[in-house]
Amino acid sequence: MSGLRISDLRLTIGRSEVLRGIDLEAPGGAITGLAGESGSGKTMTGLAVIGLQPAGSKVSGTIAFDDERDGVPNLLGLSPRAMNRLRGRRIAMVFQDPTASLQPMLSIGTQLTDHLRHHLHLDRRAAMQRAVELLERVRVPDPQAAVRRYPHQFSGGQLQRIAIAIAIACEPAVLIADEPTTALDVTVQAGILRLLRELTDDLGLAVLLVTHDLGVMSAVADTVAVMRTGEVVEHGTRYQVIREPQTDYAKELIAALPSTPPPGAGVEQDEVQP
Ligand SMILES: Nc1ncnc2c1ncn2[C@@H]1O[C@H](COP(=O)(O)OP(=O)(O)OP(=O)(O)O)[C@@H](O)[C@H]1O
Ligand SMILES: [Mg+2]
């Protein structure tokens, strides 16, 4: 089974210890939630996995990438070139702002096919066919027409679906999703979370879902790790962490939760057409 096993991950930037020995597993076919207050190190953990930590930071520890095809005992030991080969192909990422992974001046079809041709060496026709299939997979309406449109012609929720389509285009084993629904409307959020759940189950993806929002966690994560000042202070099934938090810190985070609609509620109502 594919997935990540992180042990004693440490990251320092200048004199500040941003990650102070993270232990975390993100197995395939499951959503592993990474929660915690702002500045606790969630994003840095995700960036360290794909080798995009800020320039000048020092990283140590082990990030084992278990995978039958491209597994490596420690991603941190890879050359930049070897990491480049894995990034975007076997280990993919989506961000809070979907436009971060999209070019405003290029059609969606061009962006998807460029990605597919670059990583999978497909010809133009095969790449376009796969692009349409991918848009169907993430439920962008009318994929045949969508490939000819530009990013500004889509709603935020649809753009996030497109960013997810690009992320899964090369059939990654690991997907890091950093606050993928934070910028979206609540009703649209539920649809994106449901899509992540489906892709996790159908493709056996190991999803590391980074969010400060325990409400999002309680909707979809299988296990939840709670971070504080660069450490994982609590880690368990979503039920354990949300219902029976052990630390005062987790209790406070949960007490601060707004009431969240159940997953699937009000899904996609405003996601019909751009
Ligand atoms: N480029 C940088 N240089 C120096 N310190 C940084 C840099 N980026 C982040 N940090 C510090 O690293 C720590 C962890 O930041 P990180 O972005 O991982 O937090 P986070 O948990 O994702 O927070 P948020 O919920 O606000 O996204 C913070 O203390 C932050 O100030
Ligand atoms: Mg962050």
Q: Taking 90 as the threshold, does the pLDDT of residue 264 lie above it?
A: no
Q: How far is the CA of 112 from the centre of ligand 1 (A)?
A: 30
Q: Taking 70 as the threshold, does the pLDDT of residue 138 lie above it?
A: yes
Nearest CA owner, ligand 1 atom 14: 41
Nearest CA owner, ligand 1 atom 1: 54
Average pLDDT over residues 187-216: 94
**251 in a domain, yes or no?**
yes
Tell me the per-residue pLDDT of 238-248, one tens digit each, with 9 for 90 and over.
999 988 999 99
Please give the Cα distance from 169 to 238 (Å, whole number). 29
Burial of 13 (0-12, 13-18, 19+ CB in 10 A): middle
Q: What is the predicted pLDDT for the residue at 221?
A: 96
CATH number for position 213: 3.40.50.300
**9 in a domain, yes or no?**
yes
Atom of ligand 1 nearest to the CA of 39: 19
**162 in a domain, yes or no?**
yes
**273 in a domain, yes or no?**
no
Structure tokens at 257: 């939760």
- Averaged confidence pLDDT in the chain: 91
**41 in a domain, yes or no?**
yes
Average pLDDT over residues 189-214: 95
Tell me the per-residue pLDDT of 23-42, one tens digit each, with 9 for 90 and over.
999 999 999 999 999 999 99
Number of folded domains in the chain? 1
Of 80-89, 215-224, 259-268, the poorest mean pLDDT is in 259-268
Residue 209 contacts residue 177 (beta carbons within 8 Å) = yes
Tell me the per-residue pLDDT of 57-77, one tens digit each, with 9 for 90 and over.
999 999 999 999 899 999 999
Q: How far is the CA of 82 from the centre of ligand 1 (A)?
A: 26
**260 in a domain, yes or no?**
no
Range of the domain at 135: 3-255
Q: What is the predicted pLDDT for the residue at 268?
A: 42
Nearest CA owner, ligand 1 atom 26: 38
**51 in a domain, yes or no?**
yes
Q: What is the predicted pLDDT for the residue at 20?
A: 98
Q: What torsion, rounded to 10 degrees, do the Cα atoms 251, 255, 256, 260 define?
A: 120
Query: Which residues lie below 8 Å from residue 110, measured CB to CB, with a gap of 6+?
Result: none
